[in-house]
Amino acid sequence: MYDFLKNLDRRWIFLLMFLSVSIPIIIIGITGQSFPEKPTALSITTFEIIENLKEGDKVLLSFDFDPASEGELGPMATAFTYHCAAKKLKMYFMALWPVGPQMVDNAIENVIKKDFPHLVYGEDYVNLGFKSGGEGVIKVIVTDFMELYSTDARGTPFKSIPMNKEISSVQDMDLVINISAGSAGTKEWVQYAVTPYPDEITLIAGCTGVQAPLLYPYIPEQLPGLLGAIKGAAEYEKLVFDRYYRDEGLEVPGRYQEGVRRMGPQLVAHLLMILLIIAGNYIFFAEKKRGIP
């Protein structure tokens, strides 16, 4: 056993990881069954912050991520967009990452155009697009949008868009939702938007697993709601689609269950990780017993 583990080619570990993710994906994809989700307090708080907004309230959604993090953040983006559209909130999309606008386009195509075709661009939602500079952008738009956004992403003059007439800066938003994969992201929104204007700006966020532990010190004073990693996405999906589909007696479409589905391979892969750590420590203790340094 010791010799087998000690000399194990790491490609066998790669294969085990591949199988531990792909087999649950196939089983869940074919059967349609996934593990039950029980939302935790932080996800419930995030849900309730949006749920307590009124029709017509203004929400800024900043999609600060790219395809490399879409596995974790894509479901959050979809669920946030759905929730805001279902609540009839006015959605202002923007991005601090160059590929963020593609993520915005995906959310608009897959959620708004499919399930809310009655929403009108310019009256119910607008895509302001990407501007470079990270925290420099936040620093400017927190006092004046038009200094950077003279037009929206389609080239329409900012103030000629009906829903933009009511806003001049981020402080006019009733809520800021940030979906973040790194820098510039949630940390920068907290540092340059929320902290200088704590009474004017409320921020909730969805972030990657790598970032989530680093943002906990901001909770709840600077960041009242946070969805951390794919688990946060799955919990939030459960809350949103229970409220707007299951509670109405409707079946949730498969495309709104991505986060919940991905918890299946997560479970198996996590168990594999634990087994691998135990196996590695077996080698360590076996060597210690044999007196091998």
Partner 1 sequence: MKRTVPLLITAFGGFVLIISYFIPATQGWGETVAIWFDVLASIAFILGGANLLKIHLKKVSDWQSGWGFSAVTISAFIITLYVGLTKMGVNPSTNYPDYVWSGSYREMGAPFWWLYEYAFKPLTATMFAMLAFYVASAAFRAFRAKNTEAILLLGTAFIILLGRTFAGVFLTSWLPESLSGLRIENLTVTIMQVFNTAGNRAIMIGIALGIASTSLKVLLGVDRSYLGGGED
Partner 2 sequence: MDRQKLIWTVVCVVGALGLIINAVTRDAGSVYVKNVDHEFALVEDEKWVDVSSDDALDYDLEGKERINWSSEEQANYRDYQEANKAKPSQSKYSFSLSRTFGVWIAAMFTLFIMSFLFKDNPFYKFAESVVVGVSAAYWMVVGFWDVIIPNLFGKLSPSFINSWAMPGLEGEADLLYLVPLVLGIMLLWRLAPSGTWISRWPLAFIIGTTAGIRLIGFIHADFLSQIRNSIIPLAVFENGSFMFWDSFLNLILIIGVLTAIVYFFFSIEHKGLVGKTARVGIWFLMITFGAAFGYTVMGRIALLAIRLEFLFDDWLWIIDPAMNRIAGT
Which stretches of the chain bind partner 1, using CB under 8 A?
8, 10, 13-14, 16-18, 21, 35-36, 38, 40-42, 66-71, 98-99, 101-102, 105, 109, 131-134, 136-137, 139-140, 143-144, 147-148, 153-156, 196, 213-214, 216-217, 219, 229, 231, 263, 266-267, 269-274, 276-277, 279-281, 284
Dihedral angle at the C-alpha atoms of 61, 62, 65, 66, nearest 10 degrees? 80
- Backbone φ and ψ for 243, nearest 5 degrees, come out as -65, -40
Q: Of residues 8, 52, 98, 166, which one binds partner 2 by CB under 8 A?
A: 98
Segment interacting with partner 2, rule: CB under 8 A, options 43-51, 79-87, 165-173, 227-235: 227-235
In the chain, % helix, strand, coil (3-state, to 5) comes to 55, 15, 30
Q: Smaller CB distance to partner 1: residue 8 or 250?
A: 8
Q: Of residues 6, 8, 109, 281, which one binds partner 2 by CB under 8 A?
A: 109
- Backbone φ and ψ for 29, nearest 5 degrees, come out as -65, -35
DSSP assignment of 101-148: HHHHHHHIIIIIHHH-TT--BTTTEEEEEE-S-THHHHHHHTT-GGGT
182 three-state secondary structure: coil
| The pair of three-digit structure tokens given for residue 182, joined into one six-digit string | 């790194």
User: How far apart are the C-alpha atoms of 64 and 138, rounded to whole Å?
Assistant: 12
Q: Of residues 40, 52, 143, 150, which one binds partner 2 by CB under 8 A?
A: 150
Q: Of residues 16, 21, 49, 279, which one binds partner 2 by CB under 8 A?
A: 21
Could you tell which of partner 1, partner 2, none binds residue 74, using a CB distance below 5 to 8 A set by kind?
partner 2
Could you tell which of partner 2, partner 1, none binds residue 162, using a CB distance below 5 to 8 A set by kind?
none
Q: Smaller CB distance to partner 2: residue 53 or 178?
A: 178
Segment interacting with partner 2, rule: CB under 8 A, options 40-48, 86-94, 242-250, 259-267: 259-267
Q: Give me the least distance between CB of 188 and partner 1, in Å please.
A: 13
Q: Give me the least distance between CB of 55 and partner 1, in Å please.
A: 27
Residues in region 36-65 near partner 2 by CB under 8 A:
none
User: How far apart are the C-alpha atoms of 271 and 232, rounded to whole Å?
Assistant: 19
User: How far apart are the C-alpha atoms of 50 and 87, rounded to whole Å?
Assistant: 8
* Binding footprint of partner 2 on the chain (CB under 8 A): 11, 14, 17, 21-22, 25-26, 28-30, 32, 68-72, 74, 98-99, 101, 109, 129-132, 135-136, 139, 148, 150-151, 153, 155-157, 160, 188, 190-192, 194-196, 208-210, 212-214, 217-218, 221-222, 228-231, 253-255, 257, 261-262, 265-266, 269-270, 273
